[in-house]
Structure formats: C-alpha cells, structure tokens
Chains A and B, each alone.
Chain A
Amino acid sequence: MQDKKLLEVSKKIRRSILEMSYKAQSAHTGGALSCVEILVALYFKTMKVFPKDPYSEKRDRLFFSKAHDAKALYAVLAERGFFEKKLLDGYEMEGGKLPGHSTRHCVPGVEISAGSLGHGLSIAVGSAFAGKLKKSNHKIFAILSDGECDEGSTWEAILFAGHHKLENIITIVDYNKLQGYGITTDVLDLEPFGDKWKSFGWNVISTDGHDFNKLIPAIEKAKNSKGKPTVIIANTIKGLGGVEMHINKVSSQYKPPTKEEIDEILT
C-alpha cells in the first residue's frame, strides 16, 4: 500500500498542472506530469524544507534543471505552502509571476533560473562543492530531464561530481524516454544509461518514478551515500494522468488539453 496522503497530493498536483496547461494553453505538460511523484516524494517526505523560511541555511536545496516543466514545481511548492495557490493562475499569463521556465526567486522556493538545458547540474554541483567546503549537513537535489543528458555540459558536471566525490548531491533523472522530437533511443540513445553514470563515479539506483514505495527508499538510500554522488534513474511515463491520447506520446510535450478534455479530466 502506498501512502494515501501522498497519493492524494499527487492527484491534486496533476489537476493543478492540467489547469495551468489549459488556462495558458501551454506546452510542456507531459514532462510536468511525469515528475509529479518525484517532486511529491521530495517535498512531502524526504527533503528538509521550511516553507515559511524558504531560504533557511539548513534547508535541502532542489535545483530544478528541467525548467520547461516548471508547472509541476510550482504546483508542488504551492501545495506545500511556499506561496498562495492563487499565484498558479498567473502561470505564463500576462503580468503573472510564474514564467514558463522557472526563474530564481520568482516565487519562494525556486532556487535557480533555468530553461536552457544542461545548465542546472553544474549549478547544483557548485552548490554541493560549497556545502562540502563549509561542512554543511544539507543535501543538494537536482532534477534533470533525459533529453538534457544529450548536452555535453551535463556530462562535464557528472564528471566533476564523480571526481570530487560529492556524496551530498542526489540527481534524479525523469527518464520518460521521450524528448522534443522523438523517442530518446531513436534521437540520441542514452543507453546503457546507468552504466555511463557508474563509470563516471556515481552510485546508480534505477527505480519506478511513480511508485512511492520504491522512490522514497531510493532517495533515503541516496541520502546516506558515502564518498560518491548518487543518481536515481526514475523510470516514468510522459503525460501520465493527463489526456489519454497523449500519454507516452511526443505530443504530450506540446498539446495542452482542450475544453472538452479538461472538463472530462476535472470532473
């Protein structure tokens, strides 16, 4: 049995994501839906966070590199009490506070500006290096898309973290296996994906990215790593819980719900 409360929260997050997507008629819905459980497991179970003191020195940091899927991050932060939920109405809207790609401090809890792929891991790794120098106890989390593992700069950061044995960093790849124009194995095959990270000096945990009973123990195990950074390759389904015809399809990256579709999902 999975934690009921977490399942309920996830359901609410999915609704928020789809509402934002419909209202703004925005793209990038599939990848937001695929990382819901990852974010919920972090913000509601495994990460040390202080919604009323969002930048407390003691907090665990989350660097959300796949910033095109910011809807998911915004929805989770709002649900966790970092800011008022009504701000979600301003997602990608004129005068709103929530840009399509999350921007540092646009609302409390958003740690970095990202949007161009392959930047977030380097920033996270720099923060982890500084944390180690300062002998801090907090953890650094980075969430990456599989697509941005095409970027060379991501691998520069992976190499660096392995070399410096940054055990305080935990990277989670939302491995939904679909990128902008196709299936990752067709576009630019990442496999053997885990072996690549391993050969760069990382612990590798491959798990189901939608099952809390697997995801949470994986994160807890990663938190206790000694002498090595950890990557959790979270196997996910793009578009899960969204419009049926786009689930696990490239179209989930681009197609917002129509009026009929959103009505059906929300009722």
Chain B
Amino acid sequence: MRIAFVNTLFKLAKKDSRIILLTADLGYSVFEEFQEKLPDQFLNVGIAEQNMTGVAAGMAIEGMKPFIYSIVPFATMRNFEQIRNDICYQNLNVKIVGVGAGFSYGPYGHTHHGLEDVAILRPLPNMTIFTPGDPVETSLVTTEAVKMQGPAYIRLGRAGEPVVHTVAPQFKVGKGIVLQKGKKVALIAMSTMLASTIEVAKKLKEKNLTPTIVSIPTIKPFDNELILDIFKSHEYIYSLEEHFAVGGLGSAVAEAVVTSNVSFKKYHMFAAPDKFSKVIGDQRYMRNDNGLSVDQILKKIISDTS
C-alpha cells in the first residue's frame, strides 16, 4: 500500500507543485525518487511530529497541499491536538498519512501498532478518514485526497499487501465497495483486513456459502445506506478490522444499525480485543493472538451458520 501511495502521489505531484510531502524522518527506501525528482516538494522535518503538523497547517494557509507522513501512532497520536486544533478546527487542506495499520509492525511491540487511530480521529469534525483495503484502493483514495479540500487521514498497511481488485472499482468518498454479492452471510472489511476477508470468503465457498463482500475505503463519512441494505438482506453479518473494537468499523456499523429501525438476526465484530498484546510476532502471528486469523474467523462463521 505504501508503494501505491507514494507512486500515485509522485505522479500527481509532478503536475501540481502545490503538493508537498512532509515526513518525520521516515520513508527510507520509499521516498528517494520523489525527493530526488521533486526536491522543492519534499521535506524531512526531523523527528518532530507536532511541529510537522503545525508546519503543514501553515503551508495549507498559504495554499499548498501538504501530506504529512509517519507510522500510525506518531502520525495520529503524538500530534493529536495539532490535528484537532491546527488542522480540523481551522478546516485546513492537510492530509495525514499513517503507515503500519493494525499489526503491520507486529514484532516491534505495541508502541508501533496502529489499533486506535480510527477511533480517535472519527469524532473530529471536518475530518475524512480513508481506510483502503489494497494497493488499488490506496491509489484511488490518494487521488481523491489530492482533489478534495479539507483534512483527511489515509490509513495504510505497510508493504506487500496483495492486490484484491483486478480491475479498478468505482470509488466515491463515503461509499463502500461491493466486491461480491452473496446470500445469507455478509462480510464487511476495513483496511488491512480486506485480503483476509477474501480468503475467508473463498473457504466459505468450499462449504457452499457465498457471502457478500464489502470493502469500506472511507470510514468517515460512513456509508450508512449500504450497511442498512446489507442488514436488511442478510442473516449473518460480520465486520472485520485490524483495530480495537472500540470506535472502529464495528462501532460505526453498530451506530448505523442501532439508530435505524432495521432488525437483524446475527451481527459480530471481528476486531482486536481490549488488551495490549503480551506476545510479539509478525502480522499473521499477531492476528492469531488477537482472534483475527482466517481460521479463527472461519470457525466462528461456520459455527454461527450451521
């Protein structure tokens, strides 16, 4: 996703000198070409995320289109108040890019995990939150982020996420993408869980279950309409996210449904439980420790539906 992001931004930045990429000293082996070809549009501010966020606000006041980049916790938590006051309160055209969603940096320990970002950014007025599920969606949201005015956050995985969309889907801000229409079971995936969700669906097909698959590339504004349609037309509905259960995709789904008059049979959130992981390991290992592996998800759905 990181590569798709930087390639798309590089392409657009070549045509628009107002785009400027700011990093808090990260991006080794990823940003070199951007920096070399567009030196006036690249700025390493040093390891100072609060200042980076304020500086970006100042640049946006002057009509520039800054993108600020760091690992999820440092891009959204260290500088949270600058995001709130300097960017959202002033409704400035700054884009925040967090790399390492969920357990992408699994072995590094919890300081580097990205499990709270959506929850803390969702309450902020003026904020748009993009949660692309694969490199294709990443490219689409990056293009949209350049076009739109106002604050936005782009939540990226790390590297090597598989391409899910073989053809670029229709994309609109605030709209979900239906990848497959099925019956009875619906899987709603956000961000880094999209590829696993496709795997789960494939395995369900072997059991003669064809689920509906939805990707949520924008968690704010949220596609309430699509979610309610899904609840009306399915019996077993699951949300899947590599994020704490509080405040993320599952919460957004629950908020939409509870405040409507739609009734439903079974809804379950697959999300990281309320704990700091005591183990370390790669993303697959960490997901397994947090009940988010393909097999754990599959087992639960099969048990619910049989």
Q: When the two chains form their complex, are residues A127 and B50 in contact, meaning their CB atoms are under 8 A apart?
A: no
Nearest-neighbour CB distance to chain B for A134, whole angstroms, equals 7
Q: Mark A107-150, 1 if CB is under 8 A from B, else 0.
A: 00001111110111111111111110110000000000000000
Nearest CB of A to B149, in Å: 15
Contacts of B58 in A (CB 8 A): 63, 122-130
Centre residue among B50, B58, B62 by max chain A CB count within 10 A: B58
Shortest CB–CB separation between residue A84 and chain B, in angstroms? 24
From B50, B53, B55, B81, residue with most partner A Cβ within 10 Å: B55
B61 proximal to A (CB < 8 A): yes
Chain B, range 58-99, C-beta contacts under 8 Å to A: 58-64, 66, 81-82, 85-86, 89-90
A112 to chain B, nearest CB (A): 7
Q: What does the 1/0 interface line of B47-61 toward A look like (CB < 8 Å)?
A: 010110111111111
Number of interchain pairs (Cβ within 8 Å)? 95
Q: Which residues of B contact A111 (CB under 8 A)?
A: 61
Shortest distance from the beta carbon of B113 to any chain A beta carbon, whole Å? 24
The reply on A152 being an interface residue by CB < 8 A is yes
B86 touches A129 (CB 8 A): no
**What residues of chain A lie closer than 8 Å to B43, measured between beta carbons?**
129
Question: How many Å lie between the Cα of A129 and that of B43 in the bound state?
Answer: 10
Chain B residues with Cβ below 8 Å from A126 are 54-62, 66
Report B-chain residues with C-beta under 8 Å of the C-beta of A156: 46, 48, 50-51
Kindly identify which residue among B59, B82, B90 contacts A130, using a CB–CB cutoff of 8 Å. Answer: B59
Contacts of A153 in B (CB 8 A): 50-51, 54, 82
Least Cβ–Cβ distance between B81 and chain A, in angstroms: 6
**CB pair A123 B48 closer than 8 Å:** no
From 162 to 189 in chain B, residues with beta carbon under 8 angstroms from any chain A beta carbon are none
B45 at the interface (CB under 8 A from A): yes
A112 to B40, CA, bound (A): 25
> With an 8 A cutoff between CB atoms, is A36 at the interface?
no
Q: Contact between B89 and A152 (Cβ–Cβ < 8 Å)?
A: no
Q: What residues on A are CB-neighbors of B51 within 8 Å?
A: 122, 125, 153, 156-157, 159-160
Q: How large is the interface on A (under 10, 10 to 19, 20 to 34, 35 or more residues)?
A: 20 to 34
CB distance from B91 to the nearest CB of A (A): 9
Is residue A104 contacting chain B, with contact meaning CB distance below 8 A? yes
Chain B residues whose CB sits within 8 angstroms of the CB of A118 once the complex forms: 50
Known contacts A125-B55, A160-B46; is-contact A119 B82 (Cβ 8 Å): yes
**What residue of chain A has the Cβ atom nearest to residue B49's Cβ?**
A156
In Å, the complex CA distance between A121 and B51 comes to 9
Interface pair A122/B82, CB less than 8 Å apart: yes
Give the most central of B43, B54, B64, B85: most A CB within 10 Å: B54
Q: Taking A113-B85, A119-B85, A122-B86 as contacts, is the C-beta distance between A160 and B61 under 8 angstroms? A: no
* Closest chain B residue to A120, Cβ basis: B54
CB A228 to nearest CB in B, in angstroms, measures 18
B61 close to A127 (CB less than 8 A): yes
Question: Which residue of chain A lies nearest to B62 when distances are taken between CB atoms in the complex?
Answer: A130
Specify which chain B residues have a CB less than 8 angstroms from the CB of A112 in the assembled complex: 57, 61, 86, 90
Residue among A104, A112, A120, A126 with the most chain B CB within 10 A? A126
CA distance A114 to B57 in the complex (A): 12
Whether A104 contacts B48 in the complex (CB less than 8 A), given A113-B85, A122-B82, A123-B58, comes out as no
20 residue pairs from A and B, CB less than 8 Å apart? A104-B89, A112-B90, A113-B90, A119-B81, A121-B54, A122-B54, A123-B54, A123-B55, A123-B61, A125-B51, A125-B54, A126-B54, A126-B56, A126-B57, A126-B60, A129-B55, A130-B58, A153-B54, A159-B51, A160-B45
Q: What residues of chain A have their CB less than 8 Å away from a CB belonging to chain B?
A: 63, 103-104, 111-116, 118-131, 133-134, 152-153, 156-157, 159-160, 163
| 8 cross-chain pairs, A with B, having the tightest CB-CB distances, nearest first | A126-B58, A122-B54, A126-B55, A156-B51, A130-B62, A127-B58, A156-B48, A153-B50
B contacts, CB < 8 Å to A: 40, 43, 45-46, 48, 50-51, 53-64, 66, 81-82, 85-86, 89-90
Apart from A104-B89, A123-B54, A163-B46: 9 A-B pairs, beta carbons within 8 A: A113-B90, A122-B54, A122-B86, A123-B61, A126-B58, A126-B61, A156-B48, A159-B48, A160-B51
